[in-house]
Structure 1
Amino acid sequence: MSPAPRSARPPGRTALAILIGSVLALLAGLVAFSPMGPATAAPSEPEAPAIETSDTPDLGENVKVYDESTPAEQIQADFDEAFEAHKVSPDAQFGEQRYAFLFKPGTYDRVWANLGFYTSVAGLGRNPDDVTIKGAVNVDSGWNHGDTANATQNFWRSLENVSVVPEEGTNRWAVSQAAPMRRVHIKGDLTLAPSNQDNGQGYSSGGYLADSLVDGKVSSGSQQQWYTRDSSIGSWEGGVWNMVYSGVEGAPANAFPDSPHTTLDSTPVTREKPYLYVDDEDKYQVFVPSLQRDSAGTSWPDTAGDPIPMSEFYVAKPGDSAATINQALEQGLNLFFTPGTYAVDETIKVTRADTVVTGIGFPTLIPEGGVTALSVDDVAGVKVSGLTFDAGTTNSETLMTVGTEGEHADHADNPTSIQDVFFRIGSSVQGKATTTLVVNSDDTIIDHIWAWRADHGGAPTGWGVNTGDTGLIVNGDDVLATGLFVEHYQKYEVIWNGDRGRTIFFQNEKPYDVPDQAAWMNGDQNGYAAYKVADDVTEHEVWGGGSYSFFNVNPEVKLDHSFEVPEKDGVRLHSLLTVSLGDVGTISNVVNNTGGAVPNPAGNTTPRNVVSYP
């Protein structure tokens, strides 16, 4: 279609314009040669000097980098110092300690790495088998202050891009939310439960495994829910409520609800998380894997993608201002956040397509004055990963936004991705945020987030203290979530307004601290569903969704249903369940008016299951 012709110019317009232009030119000349002298131009702001970068950057004091020449005793001492300083400490869970332990290619004997809060271990090879740790990368119960019997608060730790040869054949990874294991080769067995899991103790509560190879058996034990994506395992044993697999070679057969396994042969769209490595010249690069469709199994050893030299990144360190970080973005640099906390007094704005924003060691952004901490324009291919957001004491309408509401550019060939990004309202501070994450861009991939309104914290929490309406709002079309954890918000916890959305694995707990029913009404409904699909959506699909109640402040509180969706042929849900934890509080139905109530008369914490809906 050709552009419409411009309107014809009115008669006499050209002559009039020339006359006006001549008069203005004459006046300008008179001003320029007046007795007062020539006009003085306003002084221009000096340009900020270009930010310098390096391919061998200083990663800061919170990062330890090892090579094969490092004595095993030194490595062990570093791990022990980090862990023991915060073992059974009342300040550890919401402290400012941040650690990243990085291993250059090689074999490391006699390493027993206990991981506490805010601790990351990663290999610096191109492939997991370039770094071999012989011993263990261990997460267990018995060390968390106030809850030594369980592993349900083993948050904020990670393992990436290494191979592990476990001592005595089994590596223990008893984690809960926000504790990803990615791109790992376990040369033996893997257990996801703590060592004291027998006799009703030692629960662990939700985790994420992706792009990994486990030669032997994975035992989930007391792990209540788990999501595994695009991996290969020898076998899987166990499961409590909601175990979900997509693209996992060796996964159990789909059998929900006879067993708690929901299995998809492949994952519709994936792009593995960017990762740091060193090249043959000992220079740092960030490898950005390519987009995949209908993927299964690991992406390595021949991961498709592109390396980016570290000289194209601004390496941010605690104390850097948002203005400096924005200057780096305006200069065309990517962002690499090192471990620590960052006060953000203006929005960090990503405006360039294909920008990589990543971090190691749980760098934590805290907005000041109610700003949005991070915004991403509606551009293609932005990759955001490895960040934690803490709401500030002044309410933020959002903590992170992607795209512009109402814009629907097609990004199917190069979507934005959000990976291992965690949001907290109420932790070390009494934070407030209306919504933590808003996704407006079409085709966005949300791959493992935990949005959490805190049920406990370093600072006091409560219904009127750390306030937050919603964890995630999706306005974009064709958005995919793989590994979605959203908990304890005060209204709808997920609102999905975009069409053709898909979620593979959803884990939710309703807010514990509802004071009474009157304080938690959605019109004439009791409470707010955990997962709301907007009434005008025509297509949506969910696999493996669990929602739990624990109304311990007032056990008389009721929720009408955990999933609320329009009755349309294109809206389909699979493998849903609700649980009343300890039979505390009531959820009257699973989805809309279907599923029945928990507490289930059959017994304590027995779920209600819906195999498919409608």
Structure 2
Amino acid sequence: MIKKLISIFTAFAFMLILCSFITSNLSDEKKQDNKIQGKIVYNKKKHNVVLSWPAFGTSGNYVITKAGSRLASDFIALGSTSKLTFTDNKPNADKYENYYKVTRNDIALIISLENQIFGDNMYFYDRKYEKAETARNEINSQFGAIGLGGSNGEFTTKRQAYYFKANIKGQTYDSGGSGSASSATANSIELGFYSHIGGLGKVPSDVKLGSIFTRPHLSGGANATCTFWRSVENVAVMRDFAWTVSQSTSARRMSIESTSKYISDIGDTNFWGSGGFIADTHYTSTRPDWGGQQQWYTRNAVFPSGSGAMGGSYNMVWQGCVNPPQADDANSPIPVTPIIREKPFLFIDNDGEYKVFVPAWQKDRVGVSWSATDMGKGKIQDLLMDWYVAKEGDTDVEINNALKAGKNIFFTPGHYALNAPIQVNKKDAILLGAGIASVTLEPTEKNTWGCIFADDKDGIIIAGLLMDSFNSTTYQVRIGDEGANADHSADPILLTDITCRVGGVQSKNIQIQTSMQINSNNVVGDHFWLWRADHGSQKGGDVRWARDRCKNGLIVVGDDVTLYALFAEHYQEYEVLWLGERGRTFFFQNEPPYDAPNQASWSSQDGRVDGYAAFKVANTVKEHHSIGMGSYAVFTGNGGIVNKKNGFEIPNSPNVKL
């Protein structure tokens, strides 16, 4: 056992050193030249399509062809014109199955409703018109072409989402293959940084993929501790799901028909990762192996029968799961999920229109929220009627005006630069991001408040967003104003798949008080990563300690706040400070800061206590309950001269329990 612990610590320390040397080319990135943009108007009454475009090329007519999807192999000729407009009086019955190519002098412009609605960073695949391997080949080519497979992708501003339309007539998106997902013979989709896979069916089995693989870029592929920022939801995986990841990675609403392992089989050393999240997922035939993961949170999953361990070093939480591992030093099975609302998602309804499904609240749930034929309980909203579809380049003014007009916001993949916070100011408002969309606080003197401010209103949902700060601010996310006291128990506030990032990319000094402050009561958080960056494109060590300032990752003031899968790391004072009553946390992962230069700069309680506790429940709190709590200290940047006395601090009260 002692040898094993030494081995784990040595490998972990080596991982920290590797992460500290990662560099990025973010500051050198330049926006692409503006692309030629066409326009498409669909007339439902006449059932025709009118195209228009700006002049391009030098001579000759514009040639128009059409196919049912962007990557279809059978574009057919419709005609040619010298004008800058063209009318198709016989479009395909489904308006979204009309992709037009306008060509002149070897320059081709693709025009479609989907591109016009969702922009250039969302890619749609349609098995009705495309070969099974088409989507895989394109996704993998992007993975290599834009640097998303290595360290250069870690802090890129590029964002992308890949959406698959429902299979038809028994077809799948699986082009065949064999072996574990990381092998060349498996023909897997490789998902890189800031990428998302989504199924557009009603249930996961409507979209069947072959195999999905995430490729770690450290230690020859053996080290997944910096494999961040990617997600997948609402699909079935037929052959292998090798989800080799760490923080800020989300796998939701999936049917996994076969899986070999979670940790990859590439590289020449033992594999290890540093945590992740999976929820609302059914493993139909094989129990997965989390071997190599230090910690992991799994919620409302269904596994084949069996009770043995499924890997993991020391903190594995299984909540509301069917057939979880038995309890032991590493595994904490929790029978039910006391209150949960699943993340909303985009899909295509029976009428051919894009909709958003907003799942209902459920209490004391076990297992998944859906069945093979039923979406589950919830409400359906029409995307074009009820939502504002934001695209990269939209400002805080445009987004806030849409919210004031009563629209919810669907953030297509992109890097949203704000000069003022997004103000969520109405009941049941929803912010939903795709492709790890980033809401970025830009360095202007006017923006001193934060990225997102939500009022103290019932039913607000904020999901799938990464908050960056390139400027000093009070908060990055604030839920409820100071003094909020409304009772939201009948319709709680939901925060899901939220990342707050401090540092890592900006070069100027910033001072942030708190990444997230929850002032409202009855808030449910479902998967956070609150991260003061321990590595990035800028110099670390003492310079980082002074440049990237942030005291707290999370302050909870509201009562009856429930959090699932809370990851918080490297903040400079208490990483989580809990002031509200009847709080609950199910799973907590923490590392203290690496870069405290000396003990005097990192001591709590007026210098009497070395370091700061990772999780502090205030002395005034009378009732609190948390389970599956982990904090591990590895001090690599200060020569061992800095110590930490307490991992957790709670009042001595019978109803406060960790």
- Using the size of structure 2 for normalisation, the TM-score is 0.75
Q: Give CA deviations for 1:349-390 in whole Å, capped at 9, x if unaligned.
A: 011100111010011011123331111100000111000011
Whole-angstrom CA distance in 1 between matches of 2:267 and 2:631: 23
Partner residue of 2:394 out of 320, 325, 344: 320
Q: Match of 1:159? A: 232
Whether the 8 Å CA contact 1:93–1:458 is kept in 2: the answer is no
One-letter amino acid of the counterpart of residue 470, structure 1: N
Partner residue of 2:468 out of 390, 393, 408: 390
CA positional deviation for 1:281: 2.2
Whole-angstrom CA distance in 1 between matches of 2:475 and 2:268: 42
One-letter amino acid of the counterpart of residue 76, structure 1: R
Whole-angstrom CA distance in 2 between matches of 1:310 and 1:282: 12
Whole-angstrom CA distance in 2 between matches of 1:228 and 1:479: 20
CA positional deviation for 1:171: 2.2
Note the residue ranges of structure 2 that are not aligned, 5 or more in a row: 1-95, 97-112, 176-186
Whole-angstrom CA distance in 1 between matches of 2:323 and 2:260: 14
Question: Does 1:254 find its partner at 2:327?
Answer: yes
CA 1:479 to 1:175, structure 2 compared with 1: closer, same or farther past 3 Å?
A: same
Matches within 5 A, 1:265-284: 265-284=335-354
Partner residue of 1:295 out of 365, 369, 377: 365
Whole-angstrom CA distance in 2 between matches of 1:458 and 1:285: 39
- Using the size of structure 1 for normalisation, the TM-score is 0.81
Whole-angstrom CA distance in 2 between matches of 1:73 and 1:128: 19
CA positional deviation for 1:78: 1.3
CA positional deviation for 1:87: 5.5
Range that drifts further, 244-253 or 432-441: 432-441
Whole-angstrom CA distance in 2 between matches of 1:420 and 1:488: 19
One-letter amino acid of the counterpart of residue 320, structure 1: D
SS at match of 1:83: helix
SS at match of 1:177: coil
CA positional deviation for 1:79: 1.0
Whole-angstrom CA distance in 2 between matches of 1:457 and 1:116: 17
Matches within 5 A, 1:81-480: 81-85=141-145, 86=147, 89-106=150-167, 107-110=172-175, 112-134=188-210, 136-141=211-216, 143-144=217-218, 148-166=221-239, 170-189=240-259, 191-196=261-266, 199=269, 201-215=270-284, 216-234=286-304, 235=306, 237-255=310-328, 257=329, 260-301=330-371, 302=374, 303-311=376-384, 312-368=386-442, 369=444, 370-392=448-470, 394-430=471-507, 432-461=511-540, 462-480=544-562
Partner residue of 1:61 out of 102, 120, 144: 120
Q: Give CA deviations for 1:425-457 in whole Å, capped at 9, x if unaligned.
A: 012224542211111110100100100000001
CA 1:490 to 1:507, structure 2 compared with 1: closer, same or farther past 3 Å?
A: same
Superposed structure 1 runs of 4+ greater than 4 Å apart? 54-57, 87-90, 196-199
Whether the 8 Å CA contact 1:289–1:305 is kept in 2: the answer is yes
Partner residue of 1:525 out of 609, 612, 617: 609
CA 1:70 to 1:489, structure 2 compared with 1: closer, same or farther past 3 Å?
A: same
Partner residue of 2:649 out of 546, 564, 567: 564
- Percent identity between matched residues is 39
Range that drifts further, 431-440 or 344-353: 431-440
CA 1:197 to 1:506, structure 2 compared with 1: closer, same or farther past 3 Å?
A: farther
Whether the 8 Å CA contact 1:366–1:373 is kept in 2: the answer is yes
CA positional deviation for 1:80: 1.6
Whole-angstrom CA distance in 2 between matches of 1:207 and 1:304: 26
Whole-angstrom CA distance in 2 between matches of 1:426 and 1:334: 29
Whether the 8 Å CA contact 1:158–1:179 is kept in 2: the answer is yes
Supply the RMSD in Å over aligned alpha carbons: 1.7
Range that drifts further, 146-155 or 237-246: 146-155
Whole-angstrom CA distance in 1 between matches of 2:382 and 2:556: 33
CA positional deviation for 1:140: 3.1
Question: Does 1:500 find its partner at 2:611?
Answer: no
CA positional deviation for 1:187: 0.2
Whole-angstrom CA distance in 1 between matches of 2:466 and 2:539: 20
Note the residue ranges of structure 1 that are not aligned, 5 or more in a row: 1-53, 574-614
SS at match of 2:188: strand
SS at match of 1:231: coil
Q: Give CA deviations for 1:157-216 in whole Å, capped at 9, x if unaligned.
A: 1110000001xxx321111000110001100125221214874x3211100010000121
CA 1:282 to 1:427, structure 2 compared with 1: closer, same or farther past 3 Å?
A: farther
CA 1:121 to 1:564, structure 2 compared with 1: closer, same or farther past 3 Å?
A: same
Q: Match of 2:57? A: none
